[in-house]
Amino acid sequence: MIKKLFVTDCEGPLSLNDNAYELSKEFIPEGDEFFRILSLYDDYLVDIVKKPNYNPGNTLKFIIPFFKAYGLNNESIVKFSKDNTFFVDGAHDTLKLAKKAMDSFIISTSYGQYIEAVCKNLDFPFENTYYTSLDLIDSFQISDSEKEKLFEFKEIISKIATEEKNNDFFDVDKLDEILFKLIPKMEVSKLNEDVVCVGGMEKQKSVEDILSKHKFEKQGIMYVGDSHTDIEPLRFAKENGGIAISFNGNEAAVKEAEIAIISNNTIATSLLIDLHSKFNSSYVLEFVKAYSIDFKRAFESFRIGFSLIDKFNEIFKDNELPIIEVITDDNIEELTQKSLEMRKKVRGEGIGSLG
């Protein structure tokens, strides 16, 4: 039997946070809107421009100079991340099951400081994670003149965010100029020189690194993601005979996944982890098809652990059942809409609306 592997994104499938957004909101004036427009710009570069050699999730790179200008250091990032880590219901149990059943990894675009806090909360080995490293923020000394210039840029970007909210249009030319022409000429840009945002193709490279180091076969992977940064690894899993799952995903994730989970509790993921650890991908897909027709009969017909079924029935005794469906051309629009609604319901409107 093929050796099985479980790989998941962190923010969305496990945690409720968008750590970089929350850091911006906490430490930068109007930082929530500032981050939102940079995130929208990031999606624009991926979806519309299709910028060559550009990683989804580079918002985390764009904001590093601004973090420095507004006084963030490693200690403040670590403390904030530690004190503000929140999880989707069931995440602890789901990851515990995954660790017990097979080799498991987290691949996240988030900063390492946050991922370390997540690992401590979930009792997950930090060495089994991939993340965006932000190591040099303390060692760099920013000049007063560059601070002032970044404050000016921040005000311009915040104004662009307000204009976008009012008329659904944002000044991409000005953002291009600030982020790709002006800031790269500043000394503070050295903070970004060695930063590689682990999103998109970098996530796929991380998956391939795991496969290579641990001698796994491609068809043994289950990958769970929820956003633009998961497009490539979801596609990689699906195209190589593995299992690609969108958990409360946005349009990009649902489009690339094979299975959509729409739920306020990760026990829906646990069902598929349990089956994936024991059987091939065809068996998992047949269960999903059966579940979407009659979940009780599916539980009777497929070999899911009894304790997991009991817990599922207890959680959803008086609550709406999770949606678990194979994505098809016929249902993708409906699943996308429901997924976006649950995404915002579970994570909040601000974070849930980010790409």
- What is the average pLDDT score of the chain? 95
Which among 168, 192, 216 is the end of a domain? 192
Task: Read off the pLDDT of each residue in 77-87 and give the average, rounded to a whole number.
Answer: 95
Confidence at residue 166, expressed as pLDDT on a 0 to 100 scale? 85
Which among 177, 192, 207 is the end of a domain? 192
Same domain, 242 and 310: yes
Task: Read off the pLDDT of each residue in 52-78 and give the average, rounded to a whole number.
Answer: 92
Same domain, 188 and 304: no
The residue range of the domain holding 333 is: 5-15+87-132+198-352
Same domain, 141 and 125: no
Confidence at residue 107, expressed as pLDDT on a 0 to 100 scale? 98
In the structure, what pLDDT confidence band is assigned to residue 50 with cuts at 50, 70 and 90? confident
The answer to whether the CB of 65 falls within 8 A of the CB of 195 is no
Same domain, 34 and 112: no
Same domain, 11 and 107: yes
Same domain, 250 and 165: no
- Whether pLDDT at 2 is above 80: yes
CA distances to 28, 171, 264, 310 from 149, rounded to whole Å, are 15, 19, 43, 59
* Closest-CA residue to 195 (of 73, 111, 117): 111
pLDDT digits (tens, 9 = 90+) for 187-213: 999 998 888 999 999 999 999 999 999
CATH number at residue 321: 3.40.50.1000
- Whether pLDDT at 352 is above 80: no
Give me the number of domains the chain comprises: 2
pLDDT digits (tens, 9 = 90+) for 116-173: 999 999 999 999 999 999 887 888 899 999 999 999 999 999 999 999 888 878 899 9
Residues 6+ apart with CB under 8 A from 173: none
Alpha-carbon span 146 to 144, nearest angstrom? 5
- Whether pLDDT at 13 is above 80: yes
Same domain, 231 and 145: no
Of all residues in the chain, the percent with pLDDT exceeding 70 is: 100
Task: Read off the pLDDT of each residue in 259-267 and give the average, rounded to a whole number.
Answer: 98
Task: Read off the pLDDT of each residue in 87-108 and give the average, rounded to a whole number.
Answer: 97
- Whether pLDDT at 351 is above 90: no
pTM above 0.85, yes or no: yes
CATH number at residue 55: 1.10.3870.10
Confidence at residue 319, expressed as pLDDT on a 0 to 100 scale? 83
Using only C-alpha atoms, the chain has a radius of gyration, in whole angstroms, of 21
Same domain, 310 and 167: no
Confidence at residue 318, expressed as pLDDT on a 0 to 100 scale? 82
Which among 173, 192, 211 is the end of a domain? 192
Same domain, 77 and 204: no
Confidence at residue 150, expressed as pLDDT on a 0 to 100 scale? 97
Same domain, 72 and 205: no
- Whether pLDDT at 56 is above 90: no
* Closest-CA residue to 68 (of 9, 147, 125, 179): 147
Same domain, 222 and 174: no
Compute the CA torsion angle 339, 345, 346, 351 (nearest 10 deg).
90
Same domain, 206 and 315: yes
